[in-house]
Every structure is written in C-alpha cells, then in structure tokens.
C-alpha cells in the first residue's frame, strides 16, 4: 500500500509546473505591491499641488 503513495510523491517532486505557477504568483504579487506603493507615493507627493489648485479655484468662485 505504500508503493503507490511513493510513486505519486516522487511524481509530485519531479513535477515542475506547480513550482512555476507559484513563482509567477510571487512575481505578480511583488509587481502589484510595487505599483501600489508607487501610486501612493506619487499621490502623497502631489497632494499639496491639488490642494493648492482647489483653494485657488474656490477663491475664483468655482
């Protein structure tokens, strides 16, 4: 009864597609995290510009 289990375990260890999909998932997660951090950084950096524009528009009556 142990022989079929060992065959499936050895096939699982030799199978590379599982590892490849995990690697792609990790790369995608890292790319998404980098994009989110970048967008937040740009957003925080330009916050003063947008606030200044808003105050000038309010002064002009818009």
Q: What is the pLDDT along the chain (62 residues), one digit of tens a residue?
A: 555 566 666 666 666 666 788 899 999 999 999 999 999 999 998 988 888 999 999 999 88
CB-neighbour burial class of residue 6 (10 A; exposed 0-12, middle 13-18, buried 19+): exposed
User: What does the alpha-carbon distance between residue 35 and residue 14 come to, in Å, rounded to a whole number?
Assistant: 34
Helix (H, G, I), strand (E, B) or coil at 59: helix
Q: Is the pTM of this model over 0.75?
A: no
């Amino acid at each position: 009864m142990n022989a079929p289990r060992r065959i499936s375990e050895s096939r699982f260890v030799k199978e590379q597609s599982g590892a490849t999909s995990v690697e792609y998932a990790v790369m995608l997660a890292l790319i998404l995290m980098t994009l989110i951090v970048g967008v937040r950084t740009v957003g925080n950096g330009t916050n003063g510009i947008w606030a200044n524009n808003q105050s000038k528009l309010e002064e002009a009556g818009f």
